[in-house]
Protein backbone atom coordinates (compact mmCIF):
# COMPACT_ATOMS: atom_id res chain seq x y z
CA UNK A 1 0.00 0.00 0.00
CA UNK A 2 2.87 2.34 0.87
CA UNK A 3 4.49 1.71 -2.53
CA UNK A 4 1.23 2.41 -4.35
CA UNK A 5 0.70 5.67 -2.44
CA UNK A 6 4.25 6.84 -3.13
CA UNK A 7 3.87 6.01 -6.82
CA UNK A 8 0.58 7.96 -6.98
CA UNK A 9 2.16 11.02 -5.37
CA UNK A 10 5.10 10.82 -7.78
CA UNK A 11 2.77 10.65 -10.79
CA UNK A 12 0.78 13.68 -9.61
CA UNK A 13 3.93 15.71 -8.97
CA UNK A 14 5.35 14.86 -12.39
CA UNK A 15 2.11 15.30 -14.35
CA UNK A 16 2.91 18.80 -15.51
CA UNK A 17 6.70 18.50 -15.23
CA UNK A 18 7.06 18.02 -18.95
CA UNK A 19 10.38 19.83 -19.39
CA UNK A 20 13.61 17.99 -20.13
CA UNK A 21 15.01 15.96 -17.24
CA UNK A 22 16.72 12.72 -16.30
CA UNK A 23 16.40 9.82 -13.89
CA UNK A 24 18.83 7.24 -12.58
CA UNK A 25 19.08 3.48 -13.05
CA UNK A 26 21.18 1.42 -10.64
CA UNK A 27 23.08 -1.65 -11.89
CA UNK A 28 24.64 -4.02 -9.39
CA UNK A 29 26.34 -7.46 -9.41
CA UNK A 30 28.43 -9.90 -7.36
CA UNK A 31 26.97 -8.71 -4.06
CA UNK A 32 28.22 -9.89 -0.70
CA UNK A 33 25.75 -7.60 1.12
CA UNK A 34 22.39 -6.00 0.31
CA UNK A 35 22.55 -2.77 -1.73
CA UNK A 36 21.44 0.34 0.16
CA UNK A 37 21.05 2.76 -2.77
CA UNK A 38 17.74 4.66 -2.89
CA UNK A 39 16.31 7.34 -5.18
CA UNK A 40 16.55 5.33 -8.38
CA UNK A 41 13.67 4.63 -10.73
CA UNK A 42 14.84 1.21 -11.96
CA UNK A 43 17.28 -1.42 -10.66
CA UNK A 44 19.09 -3.83 -12.96
CA UNK A 45 20.30 -6.94 -11.13
CA UNK A 46 23.23 -8.53 -12.98
CA UNK A 47 23.41 -11.57 -10.67
CA UNK A 48 26.63 -13.40 -9.79
CA UNK A 49 26.01 -12.80 -6.09
CA UNK A 50 27.77 -14.52 -3.22
CA UNK A 51 24.53 -14.25 -1.25
CA UNK A 52 22.34 -17.15 -0.20
CA UNK A 53 19.31 -17.65 -2.43
CA UNK A 54 17.00 -16.47 0.37
CA UNK A 55 18.93 -13.19 0.61
CA UNK A 56 18.85 -12.76 -3.16
CA UNK A 57 15.11 -13.36 -3.08
CA UNK A 58 14.78 -10.59 -0.48
CA UNK A 59 16.60 -8.20 -2.82
CA UNK A 60 14.16 -9.03 -5.62
CA UNK A 61 11.25 -8.23 -3.30
CA UNK A 62 12.74 -4.93 -2.15
CA UNK A 63 11.49 -2.88 -5.14
CA UNK A 64 8.72 -3.06 -7.71
CA UNK A 65 11.04 -2.02 -10.53
CA UNK A 66 13.79 -4.64 -10.77
CA UNK A 67 15.00 -6.24 -13.99
CA UNK A 68 17.11 -9.39 -13.69
CA UNK A 69 19.98 -9.90 -16.15
CA UNK A 70 21.55 -13.14 -14.92
CA UNK A 71 25.12 -14.23 -15.64
CA UNK A 72 26.06 -17.52 -17.34
CA UNK A 73 26.95 -18.88 -13.90
CA UNK A 74 23.47 -18.06 -12.58
CA UNK A 75 21.85 -19.85 -15.52
CA UNK A 76 24.03 -22.93 -15.00
CA UNK A 77 23.76 -23.14 -11.20
CA UNK A 78 20.56 -21.33 -10.20
CA UNK A 79 18.05 -21.91 -12.99
CA UNK A 80 15.49 -23.30 -10.51
CA UNK A 81 15.82 -20.16 -8.40
CA UNK A 82 15.29 -17.98 -11.49
CA UNK A 83 12.15 -19.87 -12.46
CA UNK A 84 10.75 -19.67 -8.92
CA UNK A 85 11.35 -15.90 -8.62
CA UNK A 86 10.39 -14.72 -12.11
CA UNK A 87 7.14 -13.17 -10.77
CA UNK A 88 9.08 -10.92 -8.39
CA UNK A 89 10.77 -8.96 -11.19
CA UNK A 90 9.72 -7.06 -14.29
CA UNK A 91 11.49 -9.66 -16.40
CA UNK A 92 14.52 -11.92 -16.74
CA UNK A 93 16.48 -10.89 -19.81
CA UNK A 94 18.94 -13.07 -21.74
CA UNK A 95 19.29 -11.82 -25.32
CA UNK A 96 21.43 -14.60 -26.79
CA UNK A 97 20.13 -17.80 -25.23
CA UNK A 98 17.04 -19.45 -26.70
CA UNK A 99 15.59 -22.73 -25.52
CA UNK A 100 12.09 -24.11 -25.26
CA UNK A 101 13.18 -25.67 -21.99
CA UNK A 102 13.91 -22.23 -20.53
CA UNK A 103 10.88 -20.02 -21.36
CA UNK A 104 11.64 -17.95 -18.27
CA UNK A 105 13.98 -15.71 -20.33
CA UNK A 106 13.01 -12.73 -22.50
CA UNK A 107 15.32 -11.53 -25.32
CA UNK A 108 14.86 -7.91 -24.19
CA UNK A 109 12.71 -5.84 -21.86
CA UNK A 110 10.88 -2.56 -22.43
CA UNK A 111 10.50 -0.21 -19.46
CA UNK A 112 8.47 3.02 -19.66
CA UNK A 113 8.92 5.97 -17.34
CA UNK A 114 7.23 9.35 -17.83
CA UNK A 115 6.23 8.30 -21.37
CA UNK A 116 9.86 7.48 -22.30
CA UNK A 117 10.69 3.92 -23.33
CA UNK A 118 13.95 2.24 -22.30
CA UNK A 119 14.96 -1.00 -24.03
CA UNK A 120 17.29 -3.37 -22.13
CA UNK A 121 19.45 -6.16 -23.64
CA UNK A 122 21.73 -8.73 -21.98
CA UNK A 123 24.34 -10.54 -24.11
CA UNK A 124 26.41 -13.29 -22.44
CA UNK A 125 28.34 -14.97 -25.27
CA UNK A 126 31.34 -13.62 -27.16
CA UNK A 127 29.75 -14.24 -30.56
CA UNK A 128 25.98 -13.96 -30.03
CA UNK A 129 23.87 -15.61 -32.73
CA UNK A 130 20.63 -13.62 -32.59
CA UNK A 131 18.02 -12.17 -35.01
CA UNK A 132 19.71 -8.77 -35.29
CA UNK A 133 17.10 -7.37 -37.72
CA UNK A 134 14.31 -8.00 -35.20
CA UNK A 135 16.31 -6.49 -32.36
CA UNK A 136 17.23 -3.38 -34.32
CA UNK A 137 13.66 -2.92 -35.51
CA UNK A 138 12.55 -2.98 -31.88
CA UNK A 139 14.97 -0.16 -31.05
CA UNK A 140 13.32 2.22 -33.53
CA UNK A 141 10.59 3.21 -31.06
CA UNK A 142 12.89 3.31 -28.02
CA UNK A 143 14.00 6.59 -26.45
CA UNK A 144 16.98 5.00 -24.66
CA UNK A 145 18.76 1.65 -24.97
CA UNK A 146 20.89 -0.14 -22.38
CA UNK A 147 23.10 -2.95 -23.69
CA UNK A 148 24.88 -5.15 -21.14
CA UNK A 149 27.71 -7.26 -22.53
CA UNK A 150 31.10 -8.77 -21.78
CA UNK A 151 34.62 -7.75 -22.69
CA UNK A 152 34.49 -10.36 -25.44
CA UNK A 153 31.30 -9.20 -27.18
CA UNK A 154 31.15 -5.43 -26.58
CA UNK A 155 33.09 -4.54 -29.79
CA UNK A 156 30.51 -6.47 -31.84
CA UNK A 157 27.61 -4.95 -29.89
CA UNK A 158 28.92 -1.42 -30.45
CA UNK A 159 29.06 -2.15 -34.17
CA UNK A 160 25.56 -3.63 -34.33
CA UNK A 161 23.95 -0.78 -32.37
CA UNK A 162 26.03 2.01 -33.93
CA UNK A 163 23.08 3.41 -35.91
CA UNK A 164 21.28 4.27 -32.66
CA UNK A 165 23.91 6.83 -31.77
CA UNK A 166 23.64 8.52 -28.38
CA UNK A 167 20.48 6.60 -27.47
CA UNK A 168 22.63 3.58 -26.48
CA UNK A 169 24.55 3.12 -23.25
CA UNK A 170 26.87 0.09 -23.08
CA UNK A 171 27.70 -1.64 -19.79
CA UNK A 172 30.46 -4.21 -19.42
CA UNK A 173 29.93 -6.89 -16.79
CA UNK A 174 32.32 -6.42 -13.89
CA UNK A 175 33.53 -9.33 -11.78
CA UNK A 176 34.58 -7.21 -8.79
CA UNK A 177 32.68 -7.77 -5.51
CA UNK A 178 29.73 -5.50 -4.74
CA UNK A 179 29.83 -3.90 -8.19
CA UNK A 180 27.46 -0.93 -8.51
CA UNK A 181 27.05 1.64 -11.27
CA UNK A 182 24.49 4.34 -11.90
CA UNK A 183 23.25 5.30 -15.35
CA UNK A 184 21.56 8.60 -16.03
CA UNK A 185 18.74 8.35 -18.57
CA UNK A 186 17.90 11.62 -20.28
CA UNK A 187 14.25 12.55 -20.92
CA UNK A 188 13.04 14.96 -23.57
CA UNK A 189 10.45 17.66 -22.89
CA UNK A 190 6.92 16.34 -23.37
CA UNK A 191 4.24 17.61 -25.74
CA UNK A 192 0.73 16.16 -25.25
CA UNK A 193 -1.36 16.01 -28.43
CA UNK A 194 -5.09 15.38 -27.82
CA UNK A 195 -7.38 14.34 -30.67
CA UNK A 196 -10.45 12.22 -31.47
CA UNK A 197 -10.07 9.06 -33.53
CA UNK A 198 -13.66 9.52 -34.76
CA UNK A 199 -13.00 12.96 -36.23
CA UNK A 200 -11.73 13.11 -39.85
CA UNK A 201 -10.30 16.63 -39.55
CA UNK A 202 -8.51 15.57 -36.33
CA UNK A 203 -6.93 12.63 -38.12
CA UNK A 204 -5.93 14.82 -41.06
CA UNK A 205 -4.28 17.32 -38.72
CA UNK A 206 -2.52 14.56 -36.80
CA UNK A 207 -1.39 12.48 -39.80
CA UNK A 208 -0.81 15.08 -42.53
CA UNK A 209 -0.46 18.63 -41.22
CA UNK A 210 1.50 18.21 -37.96
CA UNK A 211 4.21 15.60 -38.86
CA UNK A 212 6.37 17.99 -40.98
CA UNK A 213 6.57 20.32 -37.98
CA UNK A 214 7.29 17.56 -35.48
CA UNK A 215 9.94 15.90 -37.66
CA UNK A 216 12.14 18.98 -37.32
CA UNK A 217 12.25 18.54 -33.53
CA UNK A 218 11.99 14.75 -33.14
CA UNK A 219 15.37 14.55 -31.40
CA UNK A 220 14.49 17.33 -28.95
CA UNK A 221 10.91 16.67 -27.86
CA UNK A 222 8.69 13.67 -27.07
CA UNK A 223 5.16 13.81 -28.49
CA UNK A 224 2.42 11.87 -26.68
CA UNK A 225 -0.72 11.23 -28.77
CA UNK A 226 -3.85 10.76 -26.64
CA UNK A 227 -7.32 9.93 -28.01
CA UNK A 228 -9.71 11.72 -25.66
CA UNK A 229 -12.57 9.34 -26.41
CA UNK A 230 -10.93 7.12 -23.79
CA UNK A 231 -11.85 8.08 -20.22
CA UNK A 232 -8.33 8.30 -18.78
CA UNK A 233 -7.12 10.44 -21.67
CA UNK A 234 -10.14 12.71 -21.39
CA UNK A 235 -9.40 13.27 -17.71
CA UNK A 236 -5.86 14.33 -18.65
CA UNK A 237 -7.25 16.68 -21.29
CA UNK A 238 -9.58 18.52 -18.89
CA UNK A 239 -6.74 18.76 -16.34
CA UNK A 240 -4.53 20.46 -18.91
CA UNK A 241 -7.39 22.74 -20.01
CA UNK A 242 -7.98 23.72 -16.40
CA UNK A 243 -4.27 24.33 -15.83
CA UNK A 244 -3.98 26.68 -18.82
CA UNK A 245 -7.55 28.05 -18.53
CA UNK A 246 -8.43 27.18 -22.13
CA UNK A 247 -11.63 29.04 -23.05
CA UNK A 248 -12.07 28.31 -26.76
CA UNK A 249 -11.80 24.53 -26.87
CA UNK A 250 -11.16 22.88 -30.23
CA UNK A 251 -11.24 19.38 -31.70
CA UNK A 252 -7.43 19.07 -31.47
CA UNK A 253 -5.33 20.60 -28.69
CA UNK A 254 -1.65 20.42 -27.72
CA UNK A 255 -0.09 21.14 -24.31
CA UNK A 256 3.28 21.36 -22.62
CA UNK A 257 4.48 23.03 -19.44
CA UNK A 258 5.26 26.09 -21.60
CA UNK A 259 1.75 26.65 -22.98
CA UNK A 260 -0.94 25.26 -25.25
CA UNK A 261 -2.35 25.38 -28.80
CA UNK A 262 -6.09 25.31 -29.53
CA UNK A 263 -6.83 26.41 -33.11
CA UNK A 264 -9.34 25.13 -35.67
CA UNK A 265 -7.44 26.56 -38.66
CA UNK A 266 -4.85 24.00 -39.75
CA UNK A 267 -2.15 26.46 -40.85
CA UNK A 268 -2.55 28.51 -37.68
CA UNK A 269 -2.42 25.35 -35.57
CA UNK A 270 0.84 24.23 -37.23
CA UNK A 271 2.39 27.67 -36.81
CA UNK A 272 1.38 27.97 -33.15
CA UNK A 273 2.53 24.39 -32.52
CA UNK A 274 6.04 25.14 -33.77
CA UNK A 275 6.18 28.20 -31.54
CA UNK A 276 5.09 26.10 -28.56
CA UNK A 277 7.70 23.42 -29.29
CA UNK A 278 10.50 26.00 -29.44
CA UNK A 279 9.30 27.59 -26.22
CA UNK A 280 9.06 24.18 -24.53
CA UNK A 281 12.60 23.18 -25.55
CA UNK A 282 14.04 26.47 -24.30
CA UNK A 283 12.15 26.52 -20.99
CA UNK A 284 13.49 25.00 -17.80
CA UNK A 285 11.89 21.97 -16.17
CA UNK A 286 9.16 23.04 -13.75
CA UNK A 287 7.69 21.45 -10.67
CA UNK A 288 4.02 22.42 -10.69
CA UNK A 289 1.38 21.54 -8.13
CA UNK A 290 -1.10 19.02 -9.56
CA UNK A 291 -4.49 20.36 -10.72
CA UNK A 292 -7.82 19.27 -9.24
CA UNK A 293 -8.62 15.64 -10.17
CA UNK A 294 -9.87 15.30 -13.73
CA UNK A 295 -13.10 13.63 -12.61
CA UNK A 296 -14.05 16.65 -10.47
CA UNK A 297 -13.40 18.94 -13.44
CA UNK A 298 -15.56 16.75 -15.69
CA UNK A 299 -18.41 16.92 -13.15
CA UNK A 300 -18.05 20.69 -13.06
CA UNK A 301 -18.16 20.86 -16.87
CA UNK A 302 -21.20 18.57 -17.01
CA UNK A 303 -23.10 20.75 -14.53
CA UNK A 304 -22.69 23.70 -16.91
CA UNK A 305 -24.42 21.92 -19.79
CA UNK A 306 -27.95 22.88 -20.87
CA UNK A 307 -30.31 21.08 -23.25
CA UNK A 308 -29.87 23.88 -25.83
CA UNK A 309 -26.11 23.45 -25.83
CA UNK A 310 -26.48 19.70 -26.37
CA UNK A 311 -29.02 20.24 -29.16
CA UNK A 312 -26.66 22.62 -30.98
CA UNK A 313 -23.67 20.28 -30.65
CA UNK A 314 -25.68 17.30 -31.91
CA UNK A 315 -27.05 19.21 -34.90
CA UNK A 316 -23.61 20.49 -35.97
CA UNK A 317 -22.06 17.03 -35.65
CA UNK A 318 -24.89 15.63 -37.76
CA UNK A 319 -23.77 17.56 -40.85
CA UNK A 320 -22.08 14.44 -42.20
CA UNK A 321 -21.53 14.35 -46.00
CA UNK A 322 -21.00 10.58 -46.10
CA UNK A 323 -24.35 9.88 -44.44
CA UNK A 324 -26.04 12.42 -46.75
CA UNK A 325 -24.44 10.89 -49.84
CA UNK A 326 -25.61 7.43 -48.84
CA UNK A 327 -29.24 8.46 -48.29
CA UNK A 328 -29.27 10.48 -51.55
CA UNK A 329 -27.84 7.54 -53.47
CA UNK A 330 -30.22 5.06 -51.83
CA UNK A 331 -33.40 7.08 -52.41
CA UNK A 332 -32.48 7.97 -56.00
CA UNK A 333 -31.75 4.32 -56.77
CA UNK A 334 -35.10 3.19 -55.34
CA UNK A 335 -36.92 5.94 -57.24
CA UNK A 336 -35.10 5.01 -60.42
CA UNK A 337 -36.23 1.39 -60.08
CA UNK A 338 -39.81 2.38 -59.42
CA UNK A 339 -40.19 1.25 -55.81
CA UNK A 340 -43.34 2.29 -53.98
CA UNK A 341 -43.50 5.36 -51.75
CA UNK A 342 -44.08 3.15 -48.73
CA UNK A 343 -40.99 1.02 -49.50
CA UNK A 344 -38.78 4.09 -49.88
CA UNK A 345 -40.09 5.51 -46.59
CA UNK A 346 -39.39 2.21 -44.79
CA UNK A 347 -35.83 1.96 -46.13
CA UNK A 348 -34.99 5.61 -45.43
CA UNK A 349 -36.33 5.52 -41.87
CA UNK A 350 -34.59 2.20 -41.21
CA UNK A 351 -31.29 3.70 -42.33
CA UNK A 352 -31.79 6.82 -40.17
CA UNK A 353 -32.79 4.85 -37.06
CA UNK A 354 -29.76 2.60 -37.49
CA UNK A 355 -27.50 5.67 -37.56
CA UNK A 356 -29.18 6.90 -34.34
CA UNK A 357 -28.81 3.58 -32.52
CA UNK A 358 -25.20 3.05 -33.65
CA UNK A 359 -24.12 6.49 -32.46
CA UNK A 360 -25.94 5.92 -29.19
CA UNK A 361 -24.00 2.68 -28.65
CA UNK A 362 -20.77 4.44 -29.60
CA UNK A 363 -21.57 7.08 -27.01
CA UNK A 364 -21.95 4.36 -24.39
CA UNK A 365 -18.50 3.02 -25.26
CA UNK A 366 -19.40 0.05 -27.45
CA UNK A 367 -17.23 -0.58 -30.51
CA UNK A 368 -14.54 1.65 -28.95
CA UNK A 369 -11.89 -0.91 -29.90
CA UNK A 370 -12.60 -0.30 -33.59
CA UNK A 371 -11.20 3.24 -33.57
CA UNK A 372 -7.77 2.18 -32.35
CA UNK A 373 -7.29 -0.41 -35.10
CA UNK A 374 -4.92 0.52 -37.90
CA UNK A 375 -7.55 -0.69 -40.40
CA UNK A 376 -10.03 1.96 -39.21
CA UNK A 377 -8.64 4.89 -41.19
CA UNK A 378 -8.06 2.76 -44.28
CA UNK A 379 -11.64 1.46 -44.26
CA UNK A 380 -12.97 4.99 -43.73
CA UNK A 381 -10.97 6.36 -46.67
CA UNK A 382 -12.03 3.48 -48.94
CA UNK A 383 -15.71 4.02 -48.08
CA UNK A 384 -15.42 7.75 -48.83
CA UNK A 385 -13.65 7.06 -52.12
CA UNK A 386 -16.24 4.50 -53.29
CA UNK A 387 -19.17 6.79 -52.46
CA UNK A 388 -17.43 9.76 -54.12
CA UNK A 389 -16.78 7.80 -57.33
CA UNK A 390 -20.37 6.50 -57.44
CA UNK A 391 -21.70 10.04 -57.10
CA UNK A 392 -19.37 11.27 -59.84
CA UNK A 393 -20.72 8.51 -62.12
CA UNK A 394 -24.28 9.67 -61.32
CA UNK A 395 -23.26 13.28 -62.04
CA UNK A 396 -21.74 12.31 -65.40
CA UNK A 397 -24.85 10.35 -66.36
CA UNK A 398 -27.07 13.28 -65.40
CA UNK A 399 -25.06 15.66 -67.59
CA UNK A 400 -25.15 13.12 -70.41
CA UNK A 401 -28.95 12.98 -70.09
CA UNK A 402 -29.19 16.78 -70.21
CA UNK A 403 -27.08 16.93 -73.37
CA UNK A 404 -29.02 14.06 -74.97
CA UNK A 405 -32.39 15.65 -74.21
CA UNK A 406 -31.19 18.99 -75.55
CA UNK A 407 -30.30 17.29 -78.85
CA UNK A 408 -33.28 14.94 -79.27
CA UNK A 409 -35.96 16.61 -77.18
CA UNK A 410 -37.07 13.35 -75.52
CA UNK A 411 -36.11 11.31 -72.43
CA UNK A 412 -36.77 7.82 -73.74
CA UNK A 413 -33.12 6.90 -74.17
CA UNK A 414 -31.73 8.77 -71.18
CA UNK A 415 -29.43 6.81 -68.87
CA UNK A 416 -31.03 7.73 -65.53
CA UNK A 417 -34.48 7.73 -67.11
CA UNK A 418 -34.03 4.04 -67.90
CA UNK A 419 -35.91 2.42 -70.78
CA UNK A 420 -38.83 0.38 -69.54
CA UNK A 421 -37.27 -2.92 -70.73
CA UNK A 422 -34.06 -2.19 -68.76
CA UNK A 423 -36.02 -1.13 -65.72
CA UNK A 424 -38.04 -4.39 -65.77
CA UNK A 425 -34.85 -6.50 -66.05
CA UNK A 426 -33.12 -4.67 -63.20
CA UNK A 427 -36.20 -4.88 -61.02
CA UNK A 428 -36.47 -8.60 -61.72
CA UNK A 429 -32.81 -9.08 -60.80
CA UNK A 430 -33.21 -7.09 -57.56
CA UNK A 431 -36.43 -8.92 -56.77
CA UNK A 432 -34.63 -12.24 -57.06
CA UNK A 433 -31.54 -11.02 -55.19
CA UNK A 434 -33.06 -8.65 -52.61
CA UNK A 435 -36.32 -9.52 -50.93
CA UNK A 436 -38.10 -6.91 -48.77
CA UNK A 437 -36.23 -8.32 -45.79
CA UNK A 438 -32.89 -8.10 -47.58
CA UNK A 439 -33.45 -4.44 -48.51
CA UNK A 440 -34.07 -3.62 -44.84
CA UNK A 441 -30.94 -5.56 -43.86
CA UNK A 442 -28.95 -3.63 -46.47
CA UNK A 443 -30.22 -0.32 -45.04
CA UNK A 444 -29.27 -1.43 -41.49
CA UNK A 445 -25.79 -2.54 -42.55
CA UNK A 446 -25.24 0.71 -44.49
CA UNK A 447 -26.25 2.86 -41.52
CA UNK A 448 -24.15 0.82 -39.10
CA UNK A 449 -20.97 0.78 -41.21
CA UNK A 450 -21.10 4.48 -42.09
CA UNK A 451 -21.73 5.44 -38.46
CA UNK A 452 -18.87 3.26 -37.31
CA UNK A 453 -16.46 4.73 -39.84
CA UNK A 454 -17.31 8.39 -39.47
CA UNK A 455 -18.30 11.03 -36.94
CA UNK A 456 -18.40 14.78 -36.51
CA UNK A 457 -15.70 16.93 -34.95
CA UNK A 458 -17.54 19.75 -33.19
CA UNK A 459 -18.76 17.86 -30.12
CA UNK A 460 -15.36 17.41 -28.48
CA UNK A 461 -16.41 19.44 -25.42
CA UNK A 462 -19.82 17.87 -24.96
CA UNK A 463 -19.85 14.30 -26.23
CA UNK A 464 -16.72 13.01 -24.36
CA UNK A 465 -18.02 14.57 -21.13
CA UNK A 466 -21.45 12.97 -21.55
CA UNK A 467 -19.83 9.63 -22.45
CA UNK A 468 -17.65 9.75 -19.34
CA UNK A 469 -20.53 10.66 -16.99
CA UNK A 470 -22.86 8.07 -18.57
CA UNK A 471 -20.38 5.22 -18.05
CA UNK A 472 -18.64 5.92 -14.77
CA UNK A 473 -20.68 8.07 -12.37
CA UNK A 474 -23.91 8.11 -10.35
CA UNK A 475 -25.28 10.77 -12.74
CA UNK A 476 -25.45 8.33 -15.60
CA UNK A 477 -29.22 8.66 -16.08
CA UNK A 478 -29.04 12.42 -16.60
CA UNK A 479 -26.08 11.89 -18.90
CA UNK A 480 -27.97 9.19 -20.79
CA UNK A 481 -30.83 11.66 -21.32
CA UNK A 482 -28.37 14.18 -22.75
CA UNK A 483 -26.87 11.46 -24.95
CA UNK A 484 -30.33 10.62 -26.34
CA UNK A 485 -30.99 14.32 -26.96
CA UNK A 486 -27.61 14.76 -28.65
CA UNK A 487 -28.21 11.79 -30.97
CA UNK A 488 -31.79 12.82 -31.75
CA UNK A 489 -30.55 16.14 -33.13
CA UNK A 490 -27.52 14.43 -34.62
CA UNK A 491 -29.77 12.58 -37.10
CA UNK A 492 -32.04 15.60 -37.69
CA UNK A 493 -30.01 16.89 -40.70
CA UNK A 494 -30.10 13.37 -42.14
CA UNK A 495 -33.88 13.21 -41.75
CA UNK A 496 -34.25 16.66 -43.34
CA UNK A 497 -32.24 15.53 -46.39
CA UNK A 498 -34.21 12.28 -46.63
CA UNK A 499 -37.67 13.86 -46.40
CA UNK A 500 -36.69 16.68 -48.77
CA UNK A 501 -35.89 14.06 -51.43
CA UNK A 502 -38.83 11.83 -50.49
CA UNK A 503 -41.51 14.54 -50.48
CA UNK A 504 -39.91 16.31 -53.43
CA UNK A 505 -40.25 13.15 -55.50
CA UNK A 506 -43.95 12.93 -54.57
CA UNK A 507 -44.80 16.61 -55.13
CA UNK A 508 -46.85 17.00 -58.30
CA UNK A 509 -45.68 20.58 -58.73
CA UNK A 510 -42.03 19.62 -58.43
CA UNK A 511 -42.48 16.60 -60.70
CA UNK A 512 -44.23 18.76 -63.34
CA UNK A 513 -41.49 21.40 -63.04
CA UNK A 514 -38.76 18.74 -63.46
CA UNK A 515 -40.46 17.35 -66.55
CA UNK A 516 -40.88 20.79 -68.10
CA UNK A 517 -37.29 21.79 -67.24
CA UNK A 518 -35.43 18.52 -67.77
CA UNK A 519 -32.12 20.10 -68.77
CA UNK A 520 -32.11 22.40 -65.72
CA UNK A 521 -33.19 19.55 -63.40
CA UNK A 522 -30.52 17.18 -64.68
CA UNK A 523 -27.76 19.79 -64.35
CA UNK A 524 -28.93 20.75 -60.84
CA UNK A 525 -28.88 17.07 -59.86
CA UNK A 526 -25.40 16.69 -61.34
CA UNK A 527 -24.18 19.71 -59.34
CA UNK A 528 -25.58 18.16 -56.14
CA UNK A 529 -23.78 14.87 -56.88
CA UNK A 530 -20.51 16.68 -57.63
CA UNK A 531 -20.67 18.76 -54.43
CA UNK A 532 -21.27 15.70 -52.27
CA UNK A 533 -18.55 13.84 -54.13
CA UNK A 534 -16.01 16.62 -53.55
CA UNK A 535 -16.75 16.61 -49.83
CA UNK A 536 -16.20 12.86 -49.74
CA UNK A 537 -13.01 13.06 -51.81
CA UNK A 538 -11.63 15.60 -49.35
CA UNK A 539 -12.23 13.11 -46.53
CA UNK A 540 -10.69 10.26 -48.55
CA UNK A 541 -7.57 12.00 -49.79
CA UNK A 542 -6.68 14.52 -47.09
Q: Is residue 348 part of a domain?
A: yes
Cβ-based neighbours of 72, under 8 Å, separated by 6 or more: 124
* Domain residue limits at 61: 21-186
Q: Residue 438 pLDDT more than 70?
A: no
> pLDDT for 257-276, tens place per residue?
899 999 988 999 999 999 99
Question: Poorest-confidence range of 172-176, 459-463, 531-535?
Answer: 459-463
Question: Which has more pLDDT, 405 or 153?
Answer: 153
Domain with 231 in it: what CATH number? 3.40.30.10
**pLDDT on residue 35:** 63
* Segment 364-375 mean pLDDT: 52
* Segment 136-154 mean pLDDT: 93
**pLDDT on residue 15:** 44
What interhelical angle do 375-408 and 321-336 show, nearest 10? 40
For residue 121, give the 3-state DSSP assignment: strand
**pLDDT on residue 132:** 93
Both 331 and 401 in one domain: the answer is: yes
Of 101, 124, 139, nearest to 46 by C-alpha is 124
Q: HSE (CB half, 13 Å, CA atoms) of 34?
A: 13
Q: Is residue 2 part of a domain?
A: no
**pLDDT on residue 349:** 86
Confidence of residue 380 (pLDDT cuts 50, 70, 90): low
Report the first-to-last Cα separation within the chain, whole angstroms: 50
Both 46 and 153 in one domain: the answer is: yes
**pLDDT on residue 14:** 41
Q: Residue 351 pLDDT more than 70?
A: yes
Q: Is residue 87 part of a domain?
A: yes
Both 266 and 316 in one domain: the answer is: no
Both 247 and 205 in one domain: the answer is: yes
* Segment 362-389 mean pLDDT: 60
Tell me how far apart the alpha carbons of residues 18 and 287 are, in angstroms, rounded to a whole number. Answer: 9
**Which of 165, 186, 207 finishes a domain?**
186
Q: Kind and range of the H or E element at 427?
A: helix 420-433
Both 317 and 444 in one domain: the answer is: yes
Both 323 and 462 in one domain: the answer is: yes
**Which of 141, 157, 186 finishes a domain?**
186
Q: Residue 392 pLDDT more than 80?
A: no
Q: Is residue 133 part of a domain?
A: yes
Q: Is residue 297 part of a domain?
A: no
Q: Residue 168 pLDDT more than 50?
A: yes
Q: Residue 225 pLDDT more than 80?
A: yes
> pLDDT for 416-432, tens place per residue?
544 555 555 545 555 55
Both 401 and 533 in one domain: the answer is: yes
Q: Kind and range of the H or E element at 375?
A: helix 375-408
Both 144 and 273 in one domain: the answer is: no
Question: Poorest-confidence range of 50-59, 314-323, 351-360?
Answer: 314-323
Both 399 and 532 in one domain: the answer is: yes
Q: What is the largest CA-CA distance in the chain?
A: 103
Structurally, how many domains does the chain consist of? 3
Domain with 35 in it: what CATH number? 3.60.21.10
Both 37 and 129 in one domain: the answer is: yes
Instruction: Give the number of other CB atoms < 10 A from CB of residue 280.
Output: 24
Q: Is residue 4 part of a domain?
A: no
Both 261 and 329 in one domain: the answer is: no
Q: What percent of the chain has pLDDT over 90?
A: 24
**Which of 186, 203, 223 finishes a domain?**
186
Q: Is residue 300 part of a domain?
A: no
> pLDDT for 16-46, tens place per residue?
445 567 889 999 999 887 665 667 889 999 9
For residue 304, give the 3-state DSSP assignment: coil
For residue 123, give the 3-state DSSP assignment: coil
Q: Residue 238 pLDDT more than 90?
A: no
Q: Is residue 428 part of a domain?
A: yes
Question: Which has more pLDDT, 468 or 512?
Answer: 468
Confidence of residue 171 (pLDDT cuts 50, 70, 90): very high
Both 495 and 381 in one domain: the answer is: yes
- Residue 245, CA distances (Å) to 67, 195, 313 in order: 41, 18, 22
Confidence of residue 12 (pLDDT cuts 50, 70, 90): very low
Cβ-based neighbours of 237, under 8 Å, separated by 6 or more: 194, 226, 228, 253, 294, 464
Question: Poorest-confidence range of 55-69, 362-376, 467-481?
Answer: 362-376
Amino acid sequence: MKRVLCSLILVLLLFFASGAGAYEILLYANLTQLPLEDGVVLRIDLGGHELMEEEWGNILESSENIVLLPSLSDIEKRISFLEENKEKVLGIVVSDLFSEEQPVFSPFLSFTHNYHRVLIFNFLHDDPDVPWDEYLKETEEADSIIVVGTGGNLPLLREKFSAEGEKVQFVERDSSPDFQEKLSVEEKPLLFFFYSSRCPSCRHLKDEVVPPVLDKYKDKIKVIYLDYLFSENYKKLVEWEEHWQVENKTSVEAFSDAGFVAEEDEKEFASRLEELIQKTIESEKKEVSPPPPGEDLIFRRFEGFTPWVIIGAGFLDGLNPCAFATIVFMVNLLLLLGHSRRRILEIGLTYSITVFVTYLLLGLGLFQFWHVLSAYQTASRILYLIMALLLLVFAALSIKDAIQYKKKGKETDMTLGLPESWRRRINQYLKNSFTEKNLVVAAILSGFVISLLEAGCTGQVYLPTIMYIARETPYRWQALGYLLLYNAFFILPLLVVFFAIFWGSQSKALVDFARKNIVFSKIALAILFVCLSLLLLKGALF
